[in-house]
Chains A and B, each alone.
Chain A
């Protein structure tokens, strides 16, 4: 695995997209570069850009080929890159997500504990003790791909995915942890559930976080889970 590229690599995505790659690994250093360039583009808004999607180590830029072309975009991005030191990147926000661990809400937590010779309490302490960076959002609306899961908790996926994982479920898959914003099929080991609605399409801003933000899981009791859940309902 390498690191940050000296020079961004442009990959053609047909006639209205380009992937600009800043490195070939999952690392905070590369992701900061991605976030910095995304901020610069969103502030300067070079002509013809329709949307900018940050990923682990690249940006997908969607453009209107009637308004710009690849050469102009390359020039615009090079110009932005030359002035990055003049740009102030807002510090990442930390979003707290309350989670009730174990029991029916986290049916796989004992498996995770046993796999590492830990107690359930250890798993909760380690999982809530870390700060996770959101590298990218995708797979389902609002699903955060998080970096920073402590190695002691790395656990393989289920051999057979569950046909339905309830919204709010917090899980572990290999070196990743994440939370399911909507009911969906899934093969992650479920250790708890949040009562928060992570994706609420009827709201002006349907999402609690964006790529680049940090997530902190905070332990709550099952009773508190029920209380927050019922308050969230109209």
Chain B
């Protein structure tokens, strides 16, 4: 079933789901929605399963014409949404009719917004996932972002009459100064005073920030004396903080593959959604936590998602 015609694509709008697992051994990074909470919340609001494919919008949204009646929700970064020029609230399910024009403008707080459609978008699964990985040219629409004139297909939904909103206390807030909790490692033994610099300084998000990683600006983090300048290449996970030779940290994200520089610390999984929404110019601080604290933060994060699911189901 055809659901949307793309009138304007926005600067970088891609189809994403919960990610592509099991293929890192072949050089395929996990990909998937960067702000997992907002992506999952959008799916829950329209009654989808957790893995349904939707749109990830970056800085500015697309303008779409509905090609069939549909139930939608927009979550994530704060962004004006309208249907036929009438404002439409975020974080709530809403109906559109065939011929309606949905316009998603520029984000004011945060970077990435998510659009879910009841039933989910339909593109071929590549290695088990619909997620777009643009550098590898796979997933989504032939591995590329949306372009003008694309037709997006979707699966038919069980119901278009389930109008639910996100309870207020579940809405994330986006700040321009953020605190990211992180565990030292995997190569924390390559640093001595560098660890102190990382955990006590303020860094600024630069404009070199995409799904591969965020380059930060701040005090230089140096390797300790006597360690090799690079490591034997190895793959990384989302949240790893890599220190290249210029000493300015890069937060590696979901589209990073193998690299040869030491990673001083890794941001806890529960705080990765905050990274996804950090804008160039935002201030970042790292807070050192231990493994048990990180596990607890992860359990709290999952518990919150489960509680949200129950609240929405009613």
A residues whose Cβ falls under 8 Å from a Cβ of B: 11-17, 19, 24-26, 50-58, 60, 62, 65-66, 69-70, 136-143, 145, 182, 184, 201-202, 206-207, 210-211
CB distance B184 to A201 under 8 Å? no
Which residue from B28, B183, B232 sits with its C-beta under 8 Å from A15? Answer: B183
In the complex, whether B170 has a CB less than 8 A from a CB of chain A is no
Chain B hits for A210, CB < 8 A? 25-26
State the Cβ distance, A35 to closest chain B Cβ, in Å: 11
B residues whose Cβ falls under 8 Å from a Cβ of A: 21-22, 24-28, 124, 126-127, 135-138, 182-187, 232-237, 239-240, 257-258, 263, 266-269, 291, 294-295, 297-299, 302
CB distance B136 to A137 under 8 Å? no
Q: Give me 5 A-to-B residue pairs in the complex whose CB atoms sit less than 8 angstroms apart, sorted by A's number.
A: A11-B187, A15-B269, A17-B237, A70-B291, A140-B257
Q: A140-B136, A201-B127, A201-B138 are in contact. Are A55 and B233 (CB under 8 A)?
A: yes
CB distance B21 to A138 under 8 Å? no
CB distance B232 to A55 under 8 Å? yes
Which residue from A19, A26, A66, A141 sits with its C-beta under 8 Å from B302? Answer: A66
Which residue from A50, A54, A140 sits with its C-beta under 8 Å from B25? Answer: A54
The dominant DSSP class at the A interface is loop
Instruction: Tell me the total A-B contact number using a CB cutoff of 8 A.
Output: 125
Chain B hits for A60, CB < 8 A? 24, 234-235, 237
CB distance A182 to B257 under 8 Å? no
Which residue from A15, A56, A62, A137 sits with its C-beta under 8 Å from B298? Answer: A15
**Which chain A residue shows the least CB distance to B126?**
A201
Which residue from B24, B27, B184 sits with its C-beta under 8 Å from A140? Answer: B27
CB distance A66 to B299 under 8 Å? yes
Chain B hits for A202, CB < 8 A? 124, 126
**Which chain A residue shows the least CB distance to B135?**
A140
State the Cβ distance, B136 to closest chain A Cβ, in Å: 5
Q: A139-B257, A182-B137 are in contact. Are A14 and B27 (CB under 8 A)?
A: no
Q: A13-B237, A14-B269, A136-B258 are in contact. Are A51 and B24 (CB under 8 A)?
A: yes
Chain B hits for A138, CB < 8 A? 27, 233, 235, 257-258
Docked Cα-Cα span, A14 to B271, in Å, equals 11
What 6 additional pairs, Cβ within 8 angstroms, besides A53-B24, A182-B136?
Answer: A11-B185, A16-B298, A140-B135, A143-B27, A202-B124, A207-B26
**Which chain B residue shows the least CB distance to A57?**
B232
CB distance B294 to A53 under 8 Å? no
Docked Cα-Cα span, A62 to B21, in Å, equals 10
Which residue from A50, A142, A182 sits with its C-beta under 8 Å from B21? Answer: A50
CB distance B25 to A137 under 8 Å? yes
**Which chain A residue shows the least CB distance to B185?**
A12
Docked Cα-Cα span, A100 to B107, in Å, equals 51
Chain A hits for B137, CB < 8 A? 182
Chain B hits for A26, CB < 8 A? 232
- In the A-B complex, the 8 residue pairs with the closest CB atoms: A138-B258, A14-B266, A12-B185, A11-B186, A15-B294, A138-B27, A53-B24, A55-B234
State the Cβ distance, B180 to closest chain A Cβ, in Å: 11
Chain B hits for A53, CB < 8 A? 24-25, 235
Chain B hits for A70, CB < 8 A? 291
CB distance A66 to B233 under 8 Å? no
Docked Cα-Cα span, A52 to B235, in Å, equals 11
Docked Cα-Cα span, A55 to B136, in Å, equals 20
CB distance B25 to A12 under 8 Å? no
Residue among B21, B136, B236 with the most chain A CB within 10 A? B136
Docked Cα-Cα span, A62 to B240, in Å, equals 13
Chain A hits for B297, CB < 8 A? 15
CB distance B136 to A16 under 8 Å? no
State the Cβ distance, A78 to closest chain B Cβ, in Å: 18
State the Cβ distance, A191 to closest chain B Cβ, in Å: 22
Chain B hits for A56, CB < 8 A? 232-234
Docked Cα-Cα span, A143 to B136, in Å, equals 11
CB distance A142 to B26 under 8 Å? yes
CB distance B234 to A58 under 8 Å? yes
Q: A11-B187, A15-B183, A182-B136 are in contact. Are A145 and B268 (CB under 8 A)?
A: no
Q: A65-B295, A69-B295 are in contact. Are A12 and B27 (CB under 8 A)?
A: no
